[in-house]
Structure 1
Amino acid sequence: MPTALITGPTSGIGAAFARRLAADAFSLVLVSRDDKRLAETADQLRLRYGVNVEVLAADLATDEGLARVESRLRDGDPVDLVVNNAGFGHAGNFPDVPAEDEVRMLKVHCEAVLRLTLAALPGMRERDRGAIVNVASAAAFFTRGTYGASKAWVISFSEAAANAVGNPRIKIMALCPGFVRTEFHQRAAMDTSGIPGFLWLKADDVVRAGMRDLALGKHVSIPDVRYKTIVAVGRLVPRGIQARVSARIGR
């Protein structure tokens, strides 16, 4: 039975990954800093799908938390799939957000992805198989604050890592959804009233598309034809216009 480790699995895209992989008979290792929700999520998955679920309480914004997950990946039972999903947004805009909050975002979005990928790869290379999904965002393709910048790093890193490993049996992919109906925006106190209804995606659909693209060996997955079109058109638009449109829609 294969095993998947998922960060941020208690809601949104992470929870959708947990459901999908449990339905596919994966054993799960769930990583979150919220002990209570972590235990509740694990119990629900065990009851519904009858799979083994291990919980690992860790705050990925801290060195201690990152080291705990690294140790599990390096020294624990083999992990076949890592989903680096944990992430968050800020309530304010750059440059009004305190520097320590920005650094915390970079630690979760970038350093955690780097370190957990590095921790997982030796075992995958030894077994000659495995996969890593790093959840980025369609925002990475546009000039919109430090959130988009951090997710742009995730895409660049994932592509570089996949090419460096150079083994089609070890897949590394950045998943780049657009607006998804999750707790993300509420937690960041973001006003979503200006976002057109047709731009919203469902987390389960995002995961379904992402798993399909992973199986196809893609290094970057943009779920849904709407966002594929938006990203393609955005690449043709001058950066200044990009920024103005993104600023109107993004908040």
Structure 2
Amino acid sequence: MSIRVETDKDTGVALVTLDRPGRHNAIDLAMAEELCRVWRGFRYDDSVRAAVVTGAGTRAFCTGIDRGAEVPQPSSPYSVDDPLIAIGPKANDLWIPVIAAVEGMACGGAFYLLGESEFVVASREATFFDPHTTYGMVSAYESVYLAQRMPPGEVARLALMGTAERTSARRAYETGLVSELTEPGGAAAAALRAAAVVAAYPADAVQGTVRAVWSATEAARTQALAHAPHLIALGNLPPERQAELFTSGHGRGGYRLR
């Protein structure tokens, strides 16, 4: 199993840990399916009233899709199969509050999880970046999720600079992606404390509030996400060319932190 779930029955808070530290908690197809099962399972467990999602270790929260995952694609340019499309709680119709706790790197497909969390707590040493453009891929879903939290110019810079630049936790806090900064190693504990507070409140009121906040941007987000498959089909390099750029070390010559 690549997902660990620990539930504190006293507080009603579940800690969901992406547990592939040797792969920087990158998501393969098995982990994607596990995440769906976890979120959907919480819908039927009234003892879980809030959740925290984090990554094992301190090197990475999540680095998106595992590059070794085999993801077959339909031949039609009008269809794209995205294995990460349903890894978040909202995609699984779960409305308990979910808080993300970030240590280390969060990049690429990690933004699916951050984008469907109520808020993000991060270590001061956390960094955020999106490698898609570096390797000839369109940052579509990731950019849409980020645009719900950050000013468009900040989203554009993060997405377009690819692997050449990483957004620091401080900058992410200043621009709205992160709501609280902690000392290194303290993100999960801080997120659990916040989750315990929220979990102590009446569940129906809390879930209704989560749904209300989500609905504030739902129409724009849904419309934007509808364009994502076509943009990806049109703009992505062929998989073999992407692999060439990745294995050649393109874009790995160092990065600038901002």
TM over 0.5: no
The structure where helix makes up a greater share of residues is: 1
TM-score (norm 2): 0.32
The structure where strand makes up a greater share of residues is: 2
TM-score (norm 1): 0.32
